[in-house]
Amino acid sequence: MTAPVWVGVSLKTYFGHARALAWMDEVAAVVRETPAIASGAVRLVVVPTYVQIPAALEAFAGTGVVIGAQDVSAHPAGAFTGEIAASELAEIGVSYAEIGHAERRRLFGETDADTAAKATAALAAGLTPLLCLGETERADSDAAAATVVAQLHADLEGAPAGAVTVAYEPVWAIGAESPASIPHIVRVTRALREALDALPARAGSAVVYGGSAGPGLLTVLDGAVDGLFLGRFAHDPAQLRRVLDEAATRAEVRA
Query: Could you give the residue numbers annotated as active site?
Result: 101, 169
CA–CA distance, 232 with 224 (Å, rounded to integer)? 23
Measured between its terminal Cα atoms, the distance across the chain in Å is: 9
CA–CA distance, 229 with 98 (Å, rounded to integer)? 11
CA–CA distance, 40 with 63 (Å, rounded to integer)? 10
Q: What DSSP assignment string belongs to the chain?
A: -PPPEEEEEE-TT-S-HHHHHHHHHHHHHHHHT-HHHHHTSEEEEEE--TTTHHHHHHHTTTSS-EEEES---SS-SSS-TT---HHHHHHHT--EEEE--HHHHHHH---HHHHHHHHHHHHHTTPEEEEEE--SS---HHHHHHHHHHHHHHHTTTPPS---EEEE--GGGTT-SS---HHHHHHHHHHHHHHHHHSTT-TT-EEEE-SS--TTHHHHHTTSSSEEEE-GGGGSHHHHHHHHHHHHHHHHHH-
CA–CA distance, 217 with 224 (Å, rounded to integer)? 11
